[in-house]
Every structure is written in C-alpha cells, then in structure tokens.
C-alpha cells in the first residue's frame, strides 16, 4: 500500500463533495485516501443493487 491511485471526479462529484460540512469532508477525504492506498475504511459498506436496472 505504498503508491496512491488518483481520485477521478466525475461530472459534478467534486463540487457536490465540497458542499458537505467540513467535518464530513474530512472524514470522507480520509476514507478516499485509504482507498487510494488500496485499503478499506472501517465504515465502508458495499453498494447494493448496483446491477439493478436504471429505468
């Protein structure tokens, strides 16, 4: 877990992220950092219904 992968912001995701309160951004930023290093934050949960139809 030495090399950091880049965060890829899609569409308005970074702008939306910046609208969160500072303390929430700090915690989410920490979770993103752990993910960049190949780890998994302790509060991470799997996405459910990712394969569900979008209609």
Position 36 pLDDT exceeds 70: yes
Total Cβ atoms within 10 A of residue 52: 7
**Quick one: pLDDT at residue 52?**
63
| Mean per-residue pLDDT over the chain, rounded | 89
Mean pLDDT along residues 4-19: 95
User: Does residue 54 lie within any of the structural domains?
Assistant: no
Least confident range from 2-6, 18-22, 27-31: namely 2-6
* pTM flag (> 0.85): no
pLDDT band at 2; cut points 50, 70, 90: low
Domain count within the chain: 1
Contact (Cβ atoms closer than 8 angstroms) between residue 40 and residue 34: yes
What domain range is 34 assigned to?
Answer: 1-41
Q: What are the φ/ψ torsions at residue 10 (nearest 5 degrees)?
A: -110, 135
Does a structural domain hold residue 55? Answer: no
**Residue 53 resides in a domain:** no
């Amino acid at each position: 877990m030495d090399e950091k992968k880049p965060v890829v912001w899609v569409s308005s995701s970074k702008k939306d992220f910046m609208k969160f309160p500072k303390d929430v951004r700090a915690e989410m930023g920490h979770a993103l950092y752990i993910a960049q290093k190949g780890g998994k934050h302790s509060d991470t949960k799997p996405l459910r219904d990712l394969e569900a139809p979008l209609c």
